């Protein structure tokens, strides 16, 4: 299901006064519950979606949240994205949102919490790359006097409002969602540098720059020889996220259209092997986390060269073609990989894109 049709159908069928409230069988509530599954193939990076129509009683402002597990999976705390419908169901707002519920424990509800959220939203917005938030300065109005809806308005860091009757085309909605997902990654890094300071009359949020967090190194592993290395490979624990597996599955379906045979069973620890015309491609898939492809590219290069050497060159003297597969664009690293004989492919809002060698090899259309 496309984003556009989902948003329009929710707006057209949602009824906050429905006698069965949030029960199974209420059309809009069922649609919101299914939102995560329906939108899953369209989401960038590690994003996961979940729809909310209220618990116990229907919400006056239903919404669909998008969460990056590296940041938060809990809408009560942290930063996430959301489509939030206004109570009159005439508009829906795509917003970079702050968790509001957990703040109730220290700030209570009402104006004090809203002032805190608004101050913090301004601090985050000011520190984001301004070209990335240009055109995203809409102030949401959810047409509700419910405290939580008012808190959502105050907590919005960046937003764009869509009229249901004049909903943009699907490609515009996808581009907007993918763009704001990038902004979310930047905001998560900025958030680490927010330092709260008490000020007369209330709580003031001030941005203080902090040193970056260094990437963790690889765990120690010192094989004595090539056979020792290969013997230990099956025992290595490799973190595979759900989005990582979906990336491999989706790309496998794509390359089949171009005559390649994808193989991911019995090839561990390799992510994927592609076969065509007697040639073999070794594929390493990586998810880009927090909008920074550096770590993903570094890991892909290391594993591709390791596996090519130990599992092919040392084993039978062959040398496979190398492909690095990513959940999103990797920028300057495309040419970096090309110069090292590694083709690259990545997901886009509408399909796939890749390096010159990937296109020349017919891996993508």
For position 75, what pLDDT does the model report? 86
Burial class (CB in 10 A: 0-12, 13-18, 19+), 228: exposed
Could you state, in order of their start, the residue ranges of all structural domains in the chain?
Answer: 3-207, 226-360
Is the CB of residue 364 less than 8 Å from the CB of residue 343? Answer: no
pLDDT higher for 303 or 214?
303
Mean pLDDT of 213-242: 44
- Per-residue pLDDT band for 153 (boundaries 50, 70, 90) equals very high
For position 58, what pLDDT does the model report? 87
Mean pLDDT of 69-78: 87
CA angle 322–325–326, rounded 5-degree value: 150
- Per-residue pLDDT band for 216 (boundaries 50, 70, 90) equals very low
Mean pLDDT of 51-60: 87
For position 219, what pLDDT does the model report? 32
Of 162-166, 176-180, 227-231, which gets the smallest average pLDDT?
A: 227-231
Contacts of 194 (CB under 8 A, 6+ apart): 120, 123, 124, 205, 206, 207, 208
Which residue in the block uniquely carries the two structure tokens 């958030």?
191
- Please give the Cα distance from 68 to 286 (Å, whole number): 15
Q: What is the pLDDT of residues 337-359, one digit of tens each?
A: 999 999 999 999 889 999 999 99
pLDDT higher for 238 or 165?
165
- Please give the Cα distance from 19 to 146 (Å, whole number): 20
pTM over 0.75: no
Mean pLDDT of 66-91: 93
Of 163-172, 200-209, 224-233, 271-280, which gets the smallest average pLDDT?
A: 224-233
> How distant is the alpha carbon of residue 17 from its chain centre?
34
Entry field: residues in the chain: 365
pLDDT exceeds 50 at position 218: no
**Within the chain, what is the greatest distance between any pair of CA atoms?**
74
For position 89, what pLDDT does the model report? 96
- Please give the Cα distance from 15 to 53 (Å, whole number): 10
CATH number for 3-207 (one of 2.30.30, 3.40.50, 3.30.930, 1.10.8): it is 3.30.930
Mean pLDDT of 207-225: 41
pLDDT exceeds 70 at position 198: no
Q: Considering the chain, what percentage of its residues have pLDDT values greater than 70?
A: 85
pLDDT exceeds 80 at position 230: no
What sign does the CA torsion over 355, 360, 364, 365 have? Answer: positive
Is the CB of residue 274 less than 8 Å from the CB of residue 261? Answer: yes
CATH number for 226-360 (one of 3.40.50.2300, 1.10.150.120, 3.40.1350.10, 1.10.287.1080): it is 3.40.1350.10
Mean pLDDT of 93-122: 84
- Per-residue pLDDT band for 64 (boundaries 50, 70, 90) equals very high
């Amino acid at each position: 299901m496309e984003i556009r049709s989902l948003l329009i159908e929710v707006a057209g069928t949602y009824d906050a006064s429905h006698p069965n409230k949030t029960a199974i069988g209420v059309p809009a509530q069922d649609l919101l519950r299914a939102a995560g599954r329906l939108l899953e193939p369209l989401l960038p990076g590690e994003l996961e979606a979940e729809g909310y129509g209220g618990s116990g009683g229907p919400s006056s402002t239903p919404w669909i949240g998008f969460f990056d597990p590296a940041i938060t999976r809990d809408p009560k705390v942290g930063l996430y994205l959301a489509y939030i419908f206004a109570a009159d169901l005439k508009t829906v707002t795509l917003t970079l949102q702050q968790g509001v519920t957990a703040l109730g424990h220290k700030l209570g509800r009402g104006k004090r919490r809203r002032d805190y959220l608004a101050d913090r939203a301004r601090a985050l917005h000011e520190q984001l790359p301004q070209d990335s938030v240009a055109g995203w300065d809409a102030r949401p109005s959810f047409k509700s006097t419910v405290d939580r809806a008012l808190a959502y308005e105050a907590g919005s860091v960046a937003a764009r409002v869509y009229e249901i009757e004049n909903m943009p085309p699907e490609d515009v909605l996808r581009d907007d969602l993918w763009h704001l997902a990038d902004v979310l990654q930047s905001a998560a890094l900025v958030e680490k540098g927010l330092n709260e300071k008490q000020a007369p009359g209330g709580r003031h949020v001030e941005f203080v720059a902090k040193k970056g967090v260094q990437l963790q190194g690889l765990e120690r592993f010192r094989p004595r020889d090539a056979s020792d290395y290969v013997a230990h490979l099956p025992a290595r624990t490799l973190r595979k996220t759900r989005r990582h597996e979906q990336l491999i599955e989706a790309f496998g379906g794509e390359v089949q259209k171009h005559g390649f045979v994808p193989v991911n069973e019995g090839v561990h620890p390799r992510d994927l092997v592609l076969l065509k015309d007697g040639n073999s491609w070794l594929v390493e898939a990586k998810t880009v986390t927090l909008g920074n492809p550096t770590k993903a590219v570094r890991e892909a290069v290391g594993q591709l060269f390791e596996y090519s050497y130990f599992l092919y060159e040392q084993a039978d003297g062959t040398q496979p073609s190398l492909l690095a597969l990513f959940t999103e664009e990797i920028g300057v690293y495309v040419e970096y990989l090309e110069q090292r004989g590694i083709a690259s492919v990545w997901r886009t809002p509408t399909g796939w894109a890749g390096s010159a060698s990937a296109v020349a090899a017919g891996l993508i259309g």
